[in-house]
Structure 1
Amino acid sequence: MIRVLTTFFGLGLLRPAPGTWGSAGAVALGIAIDRFLGFPALVIATFLVTCVGFLACRVALADRPGEDPSEIVIDEVAGQWLALLFPAYAFWQRGLEDWAVVAYPGWVAAFLFFRLFDIWKPWLVGRADRRGDWQGVMLDDLWAGLFAGLAVIVAAGVAHGVIMR
């Protein structure tokens, strides 16, 4: 069961670039959760997958200190959903429920910024990654998700506040 969770139901076994597959699957499922269950459900799902991710990584990596196997993608799911919360909240606050279809740049930007920060690993993302423990496996992606979410908001502000004028 731990392998099913850490690979997020097998997405982490896809090649090449299992992290990208995990992120893409996370975006699709996150949009579906938001669309059919609502923004509060996405918040709860993000919290739950983060908690499960920490637990699953601790168990899966207990005898493998310093490893961050590429097939473990539950960390990408948690980070990607965190990034997705930013545009989802902005639209939920305005009462736009079908935002993923109408405002697709929001989730596309969340995906692209998350992958950028997850691969580039600037500042706190890299610091968490260098921890070399099971907590670092999750933390680097959560930092990447936070930075990606903030970048989406900044990009939307620039696009709608500066470019659209």
Structure 2
Amino acid sequence: MGMTRAICLLFGVGLLRPGPGTWGSAVALAAGIAIDRWLGFPALVAATLAVTLIGWWALRAELGDTHDDPSEFVIDEVAGQWLALLFPAAAFWWRGMDMVWPGWVAAFVFFRLFDIWKPWLVGRADRRGDAWGVMADDLWAGVFAGVATIVAAGIAHGVLM
């Protein structure tokens, strides 16, 4: 197995069944929490940018001119999940606190919801049929999930009621 394929498969995580996208998101969540906890929020931002660029490069190499989005390719889930996680991580970092479980659970649940449902910009990106579309639909799902996480936190804490 070549390096670009290994990256796309998240070193084999994408081969887990059922639901390789959910497995990829779960592994990404655990790694993202570890990065945030032990290296800090700025490291999570840097890691998110790095995995997005590296993932897009690997997807371009593996997909070529095809219009496929193989379910076993889950590097895009890592980028999207980490983007969703940045929203609660930023809120906790801003307040000088460690991120606690409701924030990362919400980021995971909302990310999976938007990644599967594919509303609006998520679906539009998914329909592009190229490597950037494979990555972009998960990034849009991550943005939507991050915003939904912050809105849910505002409602839960009475800020938005």
Q: TM-score range by the shorter chain?
A: over 0.9
Paired residue for 2:127? 130
- 1:117 matched to 2:76: no
Question: Counterparts of 1:9 and 1:36 in 2: how far apart (Å)?
Answer: 23
Q: Cα offset for 1:161?
A: 1.5
Shift of residue 61, structure 1, vs aligned partner: 0.1
Instruction: Specify the alignment match of 1:25 in structure 2.
Output: 27
Letter in 2 for 1:144: A
Give the structure 2 partner of residue 82 of structure 1. Answer: 83
Aligned residue for 2:41?
39
Q: TM-score, normalised by structure 1?
A: 0.94
**1:1-165 matched pairs, under 5 angstroms:** 1-63=3-65, 65-97=66-98, 99=99, 103-161=100-158
Separation of aligned partners in 1, 2:13 and 2:67: 22
How far the C-alpha of 1:81 sits from its partner, in A, is 0.0
Structure 1: gaps (5+ residues): none
Shift of residue 162, structure 1, vs aligned partner = 5.5
Gapped runs of 5+ residues in structure 2?
A: none
- Per-residue deviation at 1:4? 1.1
Q: Which amino acid aligns with 1:12?
A: G
- In 1, Cα distance between equivalents of 2:6 and 2:139: 20
Quote the RMSD (CA, aligned, Å): 1.2
Cα shift readout 1:119-145 (whole Å, capped 9, x = no counterpart): 000000000001111111000000000
CA distance in 1, matches of 2:11, 2:103: 26
**Structure 1 residue 71: Cα displacement:** 0.7
Displacement, 1:69?
0.3
Give the percent of matched residue pairs that are identical in Structure 1 and Structure 2: 72
Deviation at 1:55, TM superposition (A): 0.3
- The alignment's TM-score, normalised by the length of structure 2, stands at 0.96
